[in-house]
């Protein structure tokens, strides 16, 4: 990754009178806000963000930077977890606002999201790559003007008929998928915590797995 180039333009200073806590690592789970989208396949990023916060002992969620955020210390590191309040195809808006809030570079942020191209429960950590048709990731890349940012893709399968993609991602997991995805949420949360504690390379070596 050309982190030096990215860091020439980052971080931005947050323009707010609010006292913002120091944060050295940020996990952003992608999804759609609101009760209509809870527990849908497209919101697996939210589920993982919530599990990361729970495992790190970050119990209070507040609204800031176009997102719900949980902030605190985990194993001596100042960290934050976020769930954007923008809809999926505007995820880049929250991403940029969160980087400004915490004065972070893209290398310090892990984006977690669903992936139709991976089997159910598979995990793939990478430091760069295309959006692969995911509108939320594409919006982040467009607003960042780069595809070089850490991401964790979580497979949700693609067992839908031709033309059924939108309905599939906006539906809850089937009963036989849920145990697999519950295990994936736990594994993905551990991968995110490894990213926080160590780095992306360590997380990739330990947690990339097939479904």
pLDDT of 64-103, one tens digit each?
999 999 999 999 999 999 999 999 999 999 999 999 999 9
Cα separation, 23 vs 78, in Å, equals 5
Residue 69 CB-density burial (10 A; 0-12 exposed, 13-18 middle, 19+ buried): buried
Assess whether 42 carries a catalytic annotation.
yes
Tokens coding 198 = 């160590």
Question: Quick one: pLDDT at residue 179?
Answer: 96
Domain ranges, ordered by start, for the chain: 20-207
* Full 3-state SS string of the chain: CCHHHHHHHCCCCCCCCCCCCCCCEEEEECCCCCHHHCCEHHHHHHHHHHHHHHHCCCCCEEEECCEEEEEEEECCEEEEEEEECCCHHHHHHHHHHHHHHHCCCHHHEEEEEEECCCCCCCEEEECCCCCCCCHHHHHHHHHHCCCCCCEEEEECCCCCCCCCHHHHHCCECCCCCHHHHHHHHHHHHHHHHHHHHCCHHHHHHHHCECC
Cα separation, 165 vs 134, in Å, equals 11
CATH value of 20-207 in 3.30.465.10, 3.40.50.1470, 3.40.190.290, 3.40.50.620? 3.40.50.1470
User: Annotated catalytic residue: which of 30, 31, 33, 42?
Assistant: 42
Tell me the CA end-to-end span of the chain in Å, nearest whole number.
27
If phi > 0 it is left, if psi is from -120 to 50 it is alpha, else beta; for residue 157 that is left
Cβ neighbour number for residue 110 with a 10 Å cutoff: 24
Q: Please give the radius of gyration of the chain, using alpha carbons only, rounded to the nearest integer.
A: 16
If phi > 0 it is left, if psi is from -120 to 50 it is alpha, else beta; for residue 195 that is alpha
Question: Quick one: pLDDT at residue 2?
Answer: 37
Question: Which residues of the chain fall short of a pLDDT of 50?
Answer: 1-17
């Amino acid at each position: 990754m050309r982190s030096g180039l990215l860091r020439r333009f980052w971080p931005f200073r947050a323009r707010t009178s609010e006292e913002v806590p120091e944060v050295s690592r940020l996990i952003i789970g992608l999804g759609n806000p609101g009760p209509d989208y809870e527990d849908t396949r497209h919101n697996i990023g939210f589920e993982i963000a919530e599990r990361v916060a729970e495992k790190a002992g970050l119990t209070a969620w507040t609204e800031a930077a176009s997102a719900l955020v949980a902030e605190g210390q985990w194993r001596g590191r100042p960290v934050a977890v976020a769930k954007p309040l923008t809809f999926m195809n505007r995820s880049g808006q929250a991403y940029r606002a969160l980087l400004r809030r915490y004065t972070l570079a893209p290398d310090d942020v892990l984006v977690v999201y669903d992936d139709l191209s991976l089997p159910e429960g598979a995990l793939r950590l990478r430091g760069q790559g295309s959006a692969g048709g995911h509108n939320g990731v594409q919006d982040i890349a467009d607003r960042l003007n780069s595809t070089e940012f850490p991401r964790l893709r979580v497979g949700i399968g693609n067992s839908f008929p031709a033309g059924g993609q939108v309905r599939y991602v906006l539906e809850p997991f089937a009963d036989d998928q849920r145990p697999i995805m519950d295990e994936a949420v736990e594994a993905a949360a551990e991968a995110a915590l490894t990213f926080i504690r160590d780095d992306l390379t360590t997380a990739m070596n330990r947690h990339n797995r097939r479904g």
